[in-house]
Structure 1
């Protein structure tokens, strides 16, 4: 898809025109990500980067959403042009494109935000009179899953360099290093991430080992993802930034874990992933925030854990560290693009893509 960054419209909830209704359970809608299909007519999107894709005819497109908290943002691309939905709480219809030329069009809807902004029920589409859905594009054959924190989610990536980077409107998973890498590799991606999460400790009372197996990304809950329903070829783990802050800077863990305990905690989590995906190539990444700055021990913890797994016979695993460039906040889009280029080349070499 050609991405035209200059064409961005922020659309508030409005009443869409009458037209052709497309239900959410239509077989020609292509869903990607951990999506709750307990009710096929009301699928719930909660994870960052979850998406709905398809082709259609007609001069207009409206998207119908029922948002839990009124805090989510969504990208809607039509033929490479972008509109951004700021979801209001409750059931609303968002008229995102009008005046489209005759012929076939491609659309892609992606969740910019993450589980902390709540879940969103996708209620379907509305097309102009005479419009119809066409068969969707073929599914990508490669699959990649990311386990990460705010860096992987894309927190603050569209913020100005000198501005706050915790605003919901500036979070865009589509332009995170994870999603950029997946597109560069022509791979379908699942983004299993949450801002503030760690391996041993988080900024809230649950960690990635508590969270990674959930169907719903809305907080710590009892929902269960069926790992057999979708198996990645490559897995990228980018965690430990929040552990560094909370353990070394904030002193939130008592007693303080020693180096061996930190390595063990990381290795135990990655071994859980390995048990789920015995044939996947696992990339243990770190960065590009200050966990990788000069003098930090945290890249060494990751490397040692991976070395221990390799010594134990796991040869389909390796490490990449995204370099620290001195920037104090969350990575911005340009940094995500740089890191994505490094990761893309690394995966191509290691996985033979």
Structure 2
């Protein structure tokens, strides 16, 4: 039944709203590429709907939303364009802050995978959105993507339902810090290689694109492959959580590209230690990435926060951070070891669960509060 008391707005017609996450703001409908990306409004009225579209073949899209800072809903989207009621029958004169965001990471495994925002419907007035105290950028892998933060420990199906932003440490740290955040993450990827030694699955190679992880015709049309303009959103801190998959690569067989015959492998010595030449190759990838992040974010504090699934690479990352600081004279960089995940804190998909992310949040937020208040 048509809601005749509601006014429909295309996104361009809404007088006040905030876009979250890396995107091409010139595109309409607005593409939402990353976990945590979405839209925030402050609106009066009794009722609010969003006009949204989801495109996928296998990995269905999930979203979540909060009202006045509290998580209210999380759901799977049907394929295609749909309208979702975010609230109704609320006091018309009060201002409701609504933040709707993508739960799911960018899905490299599936071409033409899209979340698009068309507009909203409301009987209220859209007011300016309050600015947060900080801006934080999070760069990482499946941990940053929140893989395993929903679902029972016994779940092993690699599906969208068990990945989430709303229980992940980037979201939780940002709540604790009263910060706006952006996440750039991809499950299974590393600094040098992916978990399986695939050298093409390294996050630095995609970092300077709006969303280098999204592929396919529709992603290209939405601007995913464009260079990202780092000057339009300047973070106070960049938090890197990479290395877990690089550690796995030392244990996995050689990667081989069946098409070109190209191979790659990180090796262990006979005694189980890491081969030095491969350690040096990994350290160089780390220092090169720190150099890139500093070039792109001249004023940000860079924090390499590693752990949650083992600490095998802690000495290597520490050495890489110290080498970078020594060579660059850049002292606004640090390393922070995160608590390992206990058996009780494990979530689904053999990944850290919500309790583990809450532990990491306390450590990261505690550190950042001290660092950024200096």
Confirm or deny a common fold (TM above 0.5): yes
Q: Among residues 174, 181, 187, which one is paired with 1:189 in the alignment?
A: 181
Match of 1:337 in 2: 358
The separation in 1 between residues aligned to 2:15 and 2:100, in whole angstroms, is: 16
Summarize the alignment of residues 155-174 of structure 1 with structure 2, pairs less than 5 Å apart: 155-164=147-156, 166-174=158-166
Match of 2:129 in 1: 137
Question: Is 2:142 the partner of 1:122?
Answer: no
Quick one: structure 1 residues 132 and 347, their matched pair in 2 at CA, closer, same or farther if it must change by over 3 Å?
A: same
Cα deviation for residue 217 of structure 1 reads 5.2
Cα deviation for residue 165 of structure 1 reads 6.6
Match of 2:233 in 1: 230
Quick one: structure 1 residues 217 and 86, their matched pair in 2 at CA, closer, same or farther if it must change by over 3 Å?
A: farther
Cα deviation for residue 29 of structure 1 reads 1.2
Cα deviation for residue 258 of structure 1 reads 1.9
* Matched residue SS, 1:191: strand
CA displacement, residues 225-274 of structure 1 (integer Å, 9 cap, x when unaligned): 11111111111111011111123334433364522111111111111101
Instruction: Check conservation: 2:23, 2:32, Cα contact below 8 A.
Output: yes
Q: Among residues 214, 222, 227, which one is paired with 1:219 in the alignment?
A: 214
Q: Among residues 241, 263, 277, which one is paired with 2:297 in the alignment?
A: 277
The separation in 2 between residues aligned to 1:289 and 1:255, in whole angstroms, is: 19
* Matched residue SS, 1:189: strand
Instruction: Check conservation: 2:64, 2:71, Cα contact below 8 A.
Output: no
Question: Is 2:307 the partner of 1:287?
Answer: yes
The separation in 2 between residues aligned to 1:178 and 1:165, in whole angstroms, is: 24
Residues 214-223 or 242-251, more deviating:
214-223
* Matched residue SS, 1:36: coil
RMSD, matched Cα: 2.2
Residues 232-241 or 168-177, more deviating:
168-177
| TM-score (normalizing by structure 2) | 0.82
| TM-score (normalizing by structure 1) | 0.86
Question: Is 2:341 the partner of 1:325?
Answer: yes
Match of 1:27 in 2: 15
Quick one: structure 1 residues 165 and 338, their matched pair in 2 at CA, closer, same or farther if it must change by over 3 Å?
A: farther
Quick one: structure 1 residues 109 and 310, their matched pair in 2 at CA, closer, same or farther if it must change by over 3 Å?
A: same
Q: Among residues 301, 307, 330, which one is paired with 2:322 in the alignment?
A: 307
The separation in 2 between residues aligned to 1:217 and 1:63, in whole angstroms, is: 27
Cα deviation for residue 23 of structure 1 reads 1.8
Quick one: structure 1 residues 31 and 222, their matched pair in 2 at CA, closer, same or farther if it must change by over 3 Å?
A: closer
Question: Is 2:74 the partner of 1:90?
Answer: no
Q: Among residues 244, 254, 267, which one is paired with 1:241 in the alignment?
A: 244
Cα deviation for residue 332 of structure 1 reads 0.7
Cα deviation for residue 62 of structure 1 reads 1.6
* Matched residue SS, 2:250: helix
Q: Which runs of 5+ in 1 are unaligned?
A: 1-14
Quick one: structure 1 residues 218 and 200, their matched pair in 2 at CA, closer, same or farther if it must change by over 3 Å?
A: closer
Match of 1:3 in 2: none
Quick one: structure 1 residues 81 and 173, their matched pair in 2 at CA, closer, same or farther if it must change by over 3 Å?
A: closer
Aligned residues: 330
Cα deviation for residue 309 of structure 1 reads 1.7
The separation in 2 between residues aligned to 1:148 and 1:74, in whole angstroms, is: 20
Quick one: structure 1 residues 326 and 164, their matched pair in 2 at CA, closer, same or farther if it must change by over 3 Å?
A: same
Match of 2:218 in 1: none
Instruction: Check conservation: 1:115, 1:217, Cα contact below 8 A.
Output: no
